[in-house]
Amino acid sequence: MTRSSKSRRSSNPASKTSGLARTHGGLVFIRRFQNALAKHEFLPRGSKVIVAVSGGPDSVALLTVLVRLREKHGFTLRAAHVNYQLRGCDSEQDEALVRKHCKSLSVPLSVLHPKERPDSNIEERLRHIRYHFFERLRKKYDFDVIVTAHTMNDVAETLLLNLIRGAGEKGLSPFQRPVSSLSRPFVHLQKSEILDFLQDEKIPFRIDRSNASRRFTRNRVRHELLPLLETFNPSIVEALARAATAIGREGRKNPPSREA
């Protein structure tokens, strides 16, 4: 399902956007992203970047922002998309949108159509397929880093999932094992900010309808547990993300000892 055109809120065009955005809201978002890049050193100037693009709002926004900062920061970009061909015409429409968006941005694109059809542990197998593909591309083109569009909401959801599954100290924090070739520059931004940016700038994206299914535990966390927790603390996403960061930092400083 494609979303585009009409914004949830009205926005006045920015009088001066330095060519980075069409609207004031878009410019504010890009400046926030730039500040995060500088503060957390996600992508050094001149980085050669493989951008994972599913066609969903987060990855479309990430690619768009990196393109708009490409000249200023000296980025070299290549997009990567995996079409698992598991959702019929929806999968094809996801790929079509990614191809069209990359063409409009003059970004080269690599697409994988995996032959493997996992019948068990599906989520983990699909994750392995796409990250193996991204890493092969990075090495093939001699690029520096792979970027994915995980947000602050993803960090909060993953921490809750790990708690629910009974993870111990070693497995509690999301993304606690840093990988030098992988960066997540959206983790300090919330999903709502990304959606506002896309709608302000009238950038189309795809919605995976399976994300609404309550059959998946993550979706229940997203649609049932987090809204409930927000009734206790409206800033629960930020609070959980801070906790996840602190746990991960402590875990890296003091890794669990191994028995001989």
What is the percent of the chain with per-residue pLDDT over 70, rounded to a whole number? 85
Segment 103-157, tens digit of pLDDT: 999 999 999 999 887 777 777 888 899 999 999 999 999 999 999 999 999 999 9
User: pLDDT band at residue 169, thresholds of 50, 70 and 90?
Assistant: low
Q: Which residues pair with 50 in a beta bridge?
A: 78, 146
Segment 181-201, tens digit of pLDDT: 999 999 999 999 999 999 999
Segment 78-96, tens digit of pLDDT: 999 999 998 889 999 999 9
Question: Which residue from 59, 126, 127, 128 is spatially nearest to 97, judged by alpha carbons?
Answer: 59
pTM: 0.87
* Residue 10 near residue 107 (C-beta atoms within 8 A): no
Is the pLDDT at 15 greater than 80? The verdict is no
Question: Which residue from 28, 29, 75, 82 is spatially nearest to 56, judged by alpha carbons?
Answer: 82
